[in-house]
């Protein structure tokens, strides 16, 4: 087990498959939230204003210690803090299952689908899958330190990308500020939708900076927002929004596991040198859009390396330093090595493990059978269906049914993660609070009275909670469960 | 201790009534590492190419043919983060 706390935040899309929908996706999203919290009592709703666009009742913390809420019209699940990849993958999929269950229980599954992707082909909208890694406050949060993560992130899409048909023409939210912007030369060519039939990343087209602190505009390879959600004197939270949502459990585990190891290399001063790009944003896009998938890149030194070569440099450093560190590390190192080796050969050997490869194989198979051109709208619909979390419809789950998609978790573990927190992080203590409140009369509150809005009976956040009549309870260390202290505090 | 057990049972009952599967608890530590992938690399000889010519492909094609060709046109989302 890596000595690291992991978390994933997923924004979902909602497909309403009607010619003239009665309601917008955001209305459906709020119905699902109400069902989860008021009917199923899978958690407790926030009764206070968490911030702009997050009024009371907009979402809340779940019994599993994570959060479900509506953010900018999207359902979003933030996993609880996890100390192992096994727990993280189970928690990530538990979020999918909670939403799919809700759709079915509300009788909406005929016309509504929960889509775990990051783009909308029609309007070029994008929405994220954010990764969170807890690091020490001593982490070298500088261009020289964190900058070593850039070449890794630019190239890891070769095994973490979810793939998509086409390209976006206009970067949403582009703000051309001096010094902060670059000309989106490729994206301004209207013919790109046709010249890029398929690319390996969903998010690459929307990343316009190397470092930046915003999350809705001028998205960067590394988000520099300093919001540790823990003791700020001890911890930082590395928050990444460059990655795609993954359906493949192997891809999710590898994405988080390899990134965790590279952060460890940086912390320990062992990250490889000399892999910087002159223009990392362009390199990111170049890798994603390379139709030959040779992924050749020119470094700032003038050296030419492939994305696989660059990944192998990181892998070799991690093997040298951390082989035998623990079983989870060894698992990551072995899977990482195998996937890089296989990327040098026929991409179809990666079906089931790498999302872009799985989707491309499905689309190519279908195209050949149905004699379709890449421009055919049916292929975009299949691209979307790959990400449908309904196991009876989603194309990824079709691969799983046919034994082509290996798993790293089990149905029992996912079922458990829907309502139970990991027991070795502070999510355990938080889950106890949620359970206590869900059992109490406060959980039946439908619409907070004015007084409750001003002085709500409880306020819960990632690192602190307060229940009316008692003092605030602070949980600054995500590695601690606080379970006994929380039970004492709540007089359980 | 007895009081704690009784209270635990009471809470278990209440939560079971709400269909919460708390009879199972998540492990504090994983008892074994992430499993080896069940598919391609089992024999240690490197991943095999998926059998793209088998009847399994037919099942996948059936699933794909059920997809509404126009559904992507209806998928219009707000930009998020």
Sign for the pseudo-dihedral over CA of B15, B19, B23, B29: negative
Per-position b or e across A127-138, b if 16+ CB within 10 A of its CB: bbbbbbbbbeee
For A64, the 3-state DSSP assignment is coil
Q: What is the pLDDT of residue A170?
A: 56
* Burial (Cβ within 10 Å: 0-12, 13-18, ≥19) of residue A19: exposed
With beta carbons less than 8 A apart as the criterion, state whether A207 and A282 touch: no
Q: Is the pLDDT of residue B23 over 80?
A: no
Q: What is the pLDDT of residue B35?
A: 56
- Give per-residue pLDDT as tens, A483-492: 999 999 999 8
Residue A250 near chain B (CB below 8 Å):
yes
Least CB–CB distance from A328: residue in B33, B37, B48? B33
Q: What is the pLDDT of residue B30?
A: 39
Strands (E), chain B: none
Sign for the pseudo-dihedral over CA of A346, A349, A350, A351: positive
Q: Looking at residues A167-195, what average pLDDT do you find?
A: 52
Q: Looking at residues A223-251, what average pLDDT do you find?
A: 97
In A371-449, alpha helices (H): 377-386, 395-401, 411-419, 426-439
Residue A36 Cα distances to A1, A57, A92, A94, A257, angstroms:
32, 12, 17, 13, 31
Query: Inter-chain contact A385–B67, Cβ cutoff 8 Å?
Result: yes
| Residue A195 pLDDT level (bands cut at 50, 70, 90) | confident
Q: Is the pLDDT of residue A175 over 90?
A: no
Least CB–CB distance from B70: residue in A331, A381, A408? A381
Residues from chain B contacting residue A44 (CB–CB below 8 Å)? none
Q: Looking at residues A174-187, what average pLDDT do you find?
A: 45
Torsion from C-alpha of A396, A400, A406, A412, nearest 10 degrees: 110
Q: What is the pLDDT of residue A214?
A: 84
Q: What is the pLDDT of residue A216?
A: 80
Residue with tokens 């035998």: A324
| Residue A22 pLDDT level (bands cut at 50, 70, 90) | confident
Please indicate, yes or no, whether the overall pTM of this predicted structure exceeds 0.90: no
Q: What is the pLDDT of residue A55?
A: 93
Query: Inter-chain contact B75–A395, Cβ cutoff 8 Å?
Result: no
Q: Is the pLDDT of residue A131 over 50?
A: yes
Angle between helices A249-268 and A307-322 (to 10 degrees): 70
Q: Of A138, A139, A149, A136, whose CA–CA distance to A273 is shortest? A: A149
Q: What is the pLDDT of residue A448?
A: 54
* Cα–Cα distance measured from residue A273 to residue A145, given in angstroms and rounded to the nearest whole number: 11
- Give per-residue pLDDT as tens, A328-352: 999 999 999 999 999 999 999 999 9
Residue A369 near chain B (CB below 8 Å):
yes
- Give per-residue pLDDT as tens, A276-322: 999 999 999 999 999 999 999 999 999 999 999 999 999 999 999 99
Structure tokens at A269: 């001063």
Q: What is the pLDDT of residue A2?
A: 72
Q: Who's near A49: CB < 8 A, 6+ residues apart?
A: A55, A56, A453
Residues from chain A contacting residue B14 (CB–CB below 8 Å)? 439
Q: Is the pLDDT of residue B41 over 60?
A: no
Taking CB atoms within 8 Å and a gap of at least 24, the contacts of A297-301 are A297/A154, A297/A155, A299/A274, A299/A275, A300/A276, A301/A274, A301/A276
Q: Is the pLDDT of residue A160 over 70?
A: yes
Q: Is the pLDDT of residue B22 over 50?
A: no
Q: Looking at residues A431-451, what average pLDDT do you find?
A: 75
- Give per-residue pLDDT as tens, A378-408: 999 999 999 999 999 999 999 999 999 999 9
Mean pLDDT, chain A, whole residue set:
92
* Cα–Cα distance measured from residue A56 to residue A161, given in angstroms and rounded to the nearest whole number: 36
Sign for the pseudo-dihedral over CA of A340, A342, A344, A350: negative
Q: Is the pLDDT of residue A450 over 80?
A: no
Task: Give the A:B interface size as CB pairs under 8 Å.
Answer: 213
Residue with tokens 């223009």: A279
The distance of A407 to chain B (nearest Cα, Å) reads 6
Q: Is the pLDDT of residue A444 over 60?
A: no
Q: Is the pLDDT of residue A153 over 60?
A: yes
Q: Looking at residues A147-162, what average pLDDT do you find?
A: 98
- Give per-residue pLDDT as tens, A58-77: 999 999 999 999 999 999 99
| Residue B6 pLDDT level (bands cut at 50, 70, 90) | very low
Q: Looking at residues A241-258, what average pLDDT do you find?
A: 98
| Interface test with chain B among A125, A130, A443, by most B beta carbons within 10 Å | A125
Where is A305: in which H helix or E strand? strand A304-306
Residue A84 near chain B (CB below 8 Å):
yes
Q: Looking at residues B21-50, what average pLDDT do you find?
A: 42
Residues of A forming the active site: 71
Q: What is the pLDDT of residue A314?
A: 98
Q: What is the pLDDT of residue A194?
A: 53
- Give per-residue pLDDT as tens, A78-125: 999 999 999 999 999 999 999 999 999 999 999 999 999 999 999 999
Residue A63 Cα distances to A67, A438, A455, angstroms:
9, 8, 23
């Amino acid at each position: 087990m890596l000595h690291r706390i992991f978390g994933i935040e997923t924004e979902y899309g909602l497909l309403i498959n009607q010619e003239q929908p009665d309601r917008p996706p955001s209305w459906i999203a709020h119905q699902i939230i109400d069902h989860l919290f008021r009917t199923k009592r899978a958690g407790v709703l926030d009764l206070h204003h968490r911030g702009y666009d997050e009024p009371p009742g907009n979402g809340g913390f779940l019994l599993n210690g994570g959060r479900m809420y509506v953010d900018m019209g999207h359902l979003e699940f933030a996993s609880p803090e996890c100390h192992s990849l096994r727990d993280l993958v189970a928690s990530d999929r538990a979020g999918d299952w909670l939403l799919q269950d809700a759709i079915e229980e509300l009788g909406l599954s005929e016309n509504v689908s929960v889509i775990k992707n990051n783009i909308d082909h029609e309007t070029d909208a994008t929405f994220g899958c954010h990764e969170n890694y807890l690091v020490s406050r001593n982490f070298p949060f500088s261009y020289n330190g964190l900058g070593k993560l850039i070449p890794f992130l630019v190239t890891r899409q070769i095994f973490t990308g979810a793939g998509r048909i086409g390209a976006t023409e206009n970067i949403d939210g582009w703000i051309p500020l001096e010094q902060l912007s670059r000309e989106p030369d490729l994206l301004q060519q209207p013919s790109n939708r046709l010249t890029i039939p398929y690319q390996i990343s969903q998010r690459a087209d929307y990343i316009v900076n190397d470092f930046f602190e915003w999350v809705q505009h001028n998205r960067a390879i590394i988000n520099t927002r300093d919001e540790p959600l823990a003791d700020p004197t001890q911890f930082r939270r590395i928050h990444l929004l460059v990655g795609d949502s993954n359906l493949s459990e192997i891809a999710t585990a590898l994405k988080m596991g390899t990134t965790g190891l590279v952060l460890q290399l940086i912390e320990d001063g062992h990250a490889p040198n000399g892999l910087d790009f002159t223009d990392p944003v362009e390199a990111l896009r170049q890798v994603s859009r390379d139709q030959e998938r040779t992924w050749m890149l020119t470094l700032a030194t003038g050296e030419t390396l492939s994305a696989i070569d660059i990944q192998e440099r990181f892998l070799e450093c991690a093997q040298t330093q951390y082989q035998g560190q623990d079983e989870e590390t060894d698992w990551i190192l072995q899977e990482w090595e195998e996937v890089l080796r296989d990327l040098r050969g026929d991409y179809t050997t990666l079906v089931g493990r790498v999302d872009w490869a799985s989707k491309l194989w499905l689309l190519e198979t279908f195209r050949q059978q149905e004699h379709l051109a890449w421009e055919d709208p049916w292929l975009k619909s299949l691209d979307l269906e790959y990400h449908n979390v309904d196991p009876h419809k989603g194309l990824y789950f079709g691969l799983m049914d046919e034994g082509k998609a290996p798993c790293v978790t089990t149905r029992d573990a996912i079922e458990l993660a829907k309502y139970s927190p990991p027991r070795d992080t502070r999510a355990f203590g938080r889950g106890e609070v949620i359970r206590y409140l869900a059992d109490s009369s406060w959980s039946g509150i439908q619409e907070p009275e004015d007084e409750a809005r001003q002085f709500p009976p409880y306020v819960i956040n990632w690192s602190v909670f307060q229940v009316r009549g008692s003092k605030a309870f602070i949980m600054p260390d995500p590695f601690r469960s606080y379970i006994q202290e929380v039970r004492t505090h709540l007089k359980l | 201790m007895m009081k704690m057990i009784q209270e635990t049972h009471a809470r278990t009952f209440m939560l079971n009534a709400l269909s919460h599967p708390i009879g199972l608890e998540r492990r504090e530590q994983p008892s074994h590492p992430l499993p080896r992938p069940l598919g391609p690399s089992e024999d240690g000889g490197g991943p095999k190419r998926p059998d793209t010519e088998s009847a399994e492909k037919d099942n996948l094609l059936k699933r794909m043919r059920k997809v509404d060709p126009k559904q992507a046109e209806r998928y219009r989302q707000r930009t998020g983060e």
